[in-house]
Amino acid sequence: MTRIAVVTGGARGLGLAIARLLAARGHALVLVDRDDAVWDTVEELRTAGCAASAVVADLTGDEDVRRVRDFVRETHGPVDVLVNNAGITRDARLATMAEADFAAVVEVNLLAAMRLTFALETELRDGGSVVNMSSRAALGNFGQTNYVASKSGLIGFTRGLALRWSPRIRVNAVAPGLIDSPMSRAMPPQVLDGLVARIPAGRIGEPEDVAKAVAFLASDDASYITGQVLTVCGGRSIAP
């Protein structure tokens, strides 16, 4: 039986890496993104022999959330894995951060994940797995109060939902640290080098490092793990 995985934010970055790995491990993919570039990912996965489809949707709106649910219900049937990966940043010092920017980050990173998860509750197969994409930043990051609030809130949501849905569905979170991405490469080189120097593992993380953690939590190998946060940061969260 082919396992079905729904991945949000699948057009690029971590979502793309997660989609590629889940596809390589035999999942059929439903990618959800508000960017039309998600169709490029679908084409790539189909070329590689994976069954893949997409829904272009903005998960901050109830109508689009229902549209995703209906698409999944009508075309795929029960879902085995839901990965809530979609997220944004709107960084600024708290004193100068616009209220709209604070609200937008919480809306996309936390509330949209909550809406889609609840919408797909009846579509998730018994024994299924939800993986929420939090961040090491949940421990605190200067200039990212909105992002920190959204990602720490996602951890609380993960733990609460794990209790509510046990034993039928497992719910866990992955918390990446500094990962090689267009966002990190946009930093001034000296800033990026300084951050990497503080990572005990001695290198920046790769998107595939995060994808492997997600794939593990989504698999039957993690059948006795729920309500947990797997931090993928090269040890940065324990470094001075």
Q: Could you give the residue numbers annotated as active site? A: 147
- Give the pairing of strands 27-33 and 3-8: parallel
Residue 213 and residue 178 in contact, taking contact as beta carbons nearer than 8 Å: no
End-to-end Cα spacing for the chain: 47
CA distances from 84 to 23, 122, 184, 200 (A): 16, 17, 21, 28
Q: For helices 112-119 and 62-75, give the axis angle rounded to 10 degrees.
A: 40
User: Please, which residues have CB within 8 angstroms of residue 207's CB and are 6 or more apart in sequence?
Assistant: 13, 14, 16, 17, 179, 180, 181
DSSP one-letter code for 57: -
CB hemisphere CA count around 148 (13 angstroms): 12
Helix (H) or strand (E) run with residue 171 in it: strand 170-176
Find the length of the chain.
240
Sign of the CA dihedral running 194, 197, 199, 202: positive
